[in-house]
Structure 1
Amino acid sequence: MVEQLSSSDSRTTWAGRERLAGLLDALESGLVERRRELRMALLAALAAEHTLLIGPPGTAKSELARRLQRAFGDVRYFERLLTRFTVPEELFGPLSISALEQDRYERHVAGFLPDASIAFIDEVFKANSAILNALLTLLNEREFDNGAGRIACPLISVIGATNTVPEDEVGEAFLDRFLMLVPVVPVSEDGFLALLAMPTGVNLDVRVAPLDKAERAALAEAAENVALEPLVGFLLAELRAWMVAQACYVSDRRWVKIVHVLRTAAASEGRSVVSRWDLGLLPCCVSADAQVQHAVSDWLLDRLGVGVRCLPERLPRVVEAFEAQLLAEREANDLDYDESGRLRFSPEALAGEVGDAKGGAGALRMTAARKRRYGQTHIDARVGQIDEALSRMCDYDAELATQVRDFEAFEAASLWIEPGFLRLVRSGLDASGARLRDLRARLLAARAGFEALPRLLPDPGTAPDPVPHPVLTTD
Structure 2
Amino acid sequence: MNTFESVALPDRLRGLAVQLERGLVERRVVVRRCLLTALAGEHTLLIGPPGTAKSELARRLRAAFRDARYFERLLTRFTVPEELFGPLSIRALEQDRYERHTAGFLPDASIAFIDEVFKANSAILNALLTLLNEREFDNGAGRQRCPLVSVIGATNDVPEDEVGEAFFDRFLTRLPVAPVSTEGFAALLDTGCTDAWSLADDALALADADLAALADAARQVALPTGVVAVLSALRTHLAADGGYVSDRRWVKTLWLLRVAAASEGRSALRVWDLLLLPACVAPDATRQGAVADWLTHHLGVREAYAPARLTRVVQAFEAQLDAERKANDLDYDDAGRLRFSASDLSAGSGTELAIELAEQIGDAKGGAGALRMSYSRQRRYGPAHIGARTAQIDDLLARITGYRTELEAERASLADCRRTTLWLDDAELAQVERHLAATASALADLVARARDARRGFENLPRLPAEAAMAAGDAVPEPVLHEPLT
TM-score over 0.5 (shorter chain): yes
CA contact under 8 A between 2:353 and 2:374: conserved in structure 1?
no
- Asked whether 1:155 is paired with 2:148, we answer yes
* Aligned-partner Cα distance in 1 for 2:342–2:272: 71
Aligned ranges for residues 280-291 of structure 1 at < 5 Å?
Answer: 280-291=275-286
Q: Give the superposition deviation at 1:231.
A: 1.6
Q: Give the superposition deviation at 1:115.
A: 0.3
Aligned ranges for residues 25-424 of structure 1 at < 5 Å?
Answer: 25-200=18-193, 203-208=196-201, 209-307=204-302, 309-335=304-330, 337-339=339-341, 349-356=354-361, 361-424=368-431
Deviates more, 1:272-281 or 1:245-254: 245-254
CA contact under 8 A between 2:393 and 2:450: conserved in structure 1?
yes
Deviates more, 1:18-27 or 1:343-352: 343-352
CA contact under 8 A between 1:115 and 1:155: conserved in structure 2?
yes
CA contact under 8 A between 1:29 and 1:206: conserved in structure 2?
no
TM-score relative to the length of structure 1: 0.93
Q: AA paired with 1:464?
A: P
* Aligned-partner Cα distance in 2 for 1:237–1:270: 26
CA contact under 8 A between 2:264 and 2:421: conserved in structure 1?
yes
Deviates more, 1:196-205 or 1:82-91: 196-205
Q: AA paired with 1:220?
A: A
* Aligned-partner Cα distance in 2 for 1:132–1:260: 25
* Aligned-partner Cα distance in 2 for 1:89–1:200: 39
Deviates more, 1:302-311 or 1:214-223: 302-311
CA contact under 8 A between 1:338 and 1:344: conserved in structure 2?
no
- Asked whether 1:464 is paired with 2:459, we answer no
Secondary structure of 1:165 counterpart:
coil
* Higher normalized contact order (CA 8 Å, seq sep 6+, divided by chain length): 1
Deviates more, 1:162-171 or 1:385-394: 385-394
Deviations 1:202-237 (A, max 9, x none): 732342421122111111110011111112112212
CA contact under 8 A between 2:352 and 2:376: conserved in structure 1?
no
* Aligned-partner Cα distance in 2 for 1:186–1:60: 9
The total of aligned residue pairs comes to 465
Deviations 1:76-114 (A, max 9, x none): 011110111111111001111111111111111000000
User: Aligned-pair RMSD on alpha carbons?
Assistant: 2.2
TM-score relative to the length of structure 2: 0.91
CA contact under 8 A between 1:335 and 1:343: conserved in structure 2?
no
Q: Where does the alignment leave 5 or more consecutive residues of structure 1 unmatched?
A: 1-6
**1:24 is matched with which residue?**
17
Q: Give the superposition deviation at 1:310.
A: 4.0
* Aligned-partner Cα distance in 2 for 1:329–1:273: 51
Secondary structure of 2:178 counterpart:
coil
**1:3 is matched with which residue?**
none
* Aligned-partner Cα distance in 2 for 1:99–1:56: 42
Q: Give the superposition deviation at 1:11.
A: 6.5
CA contact under 8 A between 2:352 and 2:377: conserved in structure 1?
no
CA contact under 8 A between 1:232 and 1:274: conserved in structure 2?
yes
CA contact under 8 A between 1:47 and 1:264: conserved in structure 2?
yes
Q: Give the superposition deviation at 1:341.
A: 10
Secondary structure of 2:77 counterpart:
coil
Q: Give the superposition deviation at 1:412.
A: 1.8
Identity of aligned residues (%): 59
Deviates more, 1:289-298 or 1:169-178: 289-298
Secondary structure of 1:53 counterpart:
strand
Q: Where does the alignment leave 5 or more consecutive residues of structure 2 unmatched?
A: 332-338
CA contact under 8 A between 1:379 and 1:450: conserved in structure 2?
yes
Q: AA paired with 1:350?
A: I
Between Structure 1 and Structure 2, whose CA radius of gyration is higher?
2
* Aligned-partner Cα distance in 1 for 2:190–2:296: 36
* Aligned-partner Cα distance in 1 for 2:223–2:357: 75
- Asked whether 1:441 is paired with 2:448, we answer yes
* Aligned-partner Cα distance in 2 for 1:280–1:238: 14
